[in-house]
Structure 1
Amino acid sequence: MHARITLFALGVVSLAVVSLYPTLQFPSSAQVSTFIGPRVWPLTLLIILFTLGIVLIAITWRDRKQVLITEPQATPDTPVETEIPSARFSLNRTRHWWFIATAIAYTLLMQSVGFLIASLIFTFIGTLMLGARSWMTIAITLVIAAVLMQGVFVSLLGIPMP
């Protein structure tokens, strides 16, 4: 289990590092007429992504070392209980990969339908993947997301929606 989490965390850190160069190609606030440039938001997300990936690696390694220290050593006389992993497909077991695929699809969809529509679709799918089943909860989440996106980017920051 620790190997899978470590591999996922290394993938997250790698994604952040690889995405840094294209993000730095966006214009800064000095190059555009807005208070905060287009580079700030993706750069902030990359820094957060990188930091959380490193934290996940550190926590996983720490937990692995604690398990190795506290786990009793098996002797030939002591039977070792092993858990047989379930081979069934489960959304819970693969949810992180679905979120990554959804984020990639969101990025591609944004170019064709625009930021607001793509963001609302992403919010809808993300809300479903997080377990919301009530249509009222989903509708409220979408309305709040639309108001926040419109309010923050257009009204507060003065950045027109693409």
Structure 2
Amino acid sequence: MHARITLFALGVVSLAVVSLYPTLQFPSSAQVSTFIGPRVWPLTLLIVLFTLGIILLAITWRDRKQALVSEPQTTPDTSAETAPASSRFSLGRTRHWWFIAAAVAYTLLMQSVGFLIASLIFTFIGTLLLGARSWMTIAITLVIAAVLMQGVFVSLLGIPMP
């Protein structure tokens, strides 16, 4: 289990590092007419992504060391192969991959339907993946997300939505 999380954390850190160069190619606020330039938001996300990836990596390594010290080595009889098939492929165990797929779909969908609609669809899917089951909770989340996106980008920052 630690190996999978370590690979995922390394992938997240690698994605942040690889995405840094194209992000720095965006114009800064000094080069555009808006208060905050197009570079600020992706750069902020990359910094957060890199930081959280490093934290996940550190926590995984710490937990692995603690597990090696506190538990004897497992035998092949107690490996993950004996786990029931339903627990190996549950939504909870693959949720992070669904989020990555949703983010890719969000990026592709944004080009065809626009920022606001694609963001609301992504918010809906993200809310479901995080475990919300009440339609009232989902509806409130979507309304708040739409108001925040419209209010922050258009009204507060003066950045028109694509």
Q: TM-score, normalised by structure 2?
A: 0.91
- Deviation of 1:73 (Å): 6.1
- Deviation of 1:96 (Å): 0.2
The Cα offsets for residues 118-151 of structure 1, whole Å up to 9 and x where unpaired, read as 1001001111111111111111100000000011
Other-structure match for 1:105:
105
| Structure 1 consecutive aligned stretches of length 4 or more whose deviation exceeds 4 Å | none
Q: Percent identity?
A: 88
Q: Measured at CA, do residues 81 and 150 of structure 1 come closer, stay the same or move farther in structure 2, by a change above 3 Å?
A: same
- Between the two proteins, the alignment pairs up a number of residues equal to 158
Q: Which 10-residue stretch deviates more, 47-56 or 61-70?
A: 61-70
- Deviation of 1:86 (Å): 3.0
Distance 1:73 1:113 in 2: 52
Unaligned stretches of 5+ residues in structure 2: none
- Deviation of 1:67 (Å): 1.2
- Deviation of 1:47 (Å): 0.5
Residue 82 of structure 1 pairs with residue 78 of structure 2: yes
Residue 92 of structure 1 pairs with residue 88 of structure 2: no
Distance 1:152 1:142 in 2: 15
Distance 1:73 1:129 in 2: 34
Structure whose alpha-carbon radius of gyration is higher: 1
Q: Measured at CA, do residues 32 and 63 of structure 1 come closer, stay the same or move farther in structure 2, by a change above 3 Å?
A: same
Unaligned stretches of 5+ residues in structure 1: none
Q: Which 10-residue stretch deviates more, 118-127 or 107-116?
A: 107-116
- Deviation of 1:85 (Å): 2.5
Other-structure match for 2:156:
156
Q: Measured at CA, do residues 148 and 58 of structure 1 come closer, stay the same or move farther in structure 2, by a change above 3 Å?
A: same
The structure whose residues are more often helix, as a share, is: 2
Calculate the aligned-residue CA RMSD, in Å.
1.7
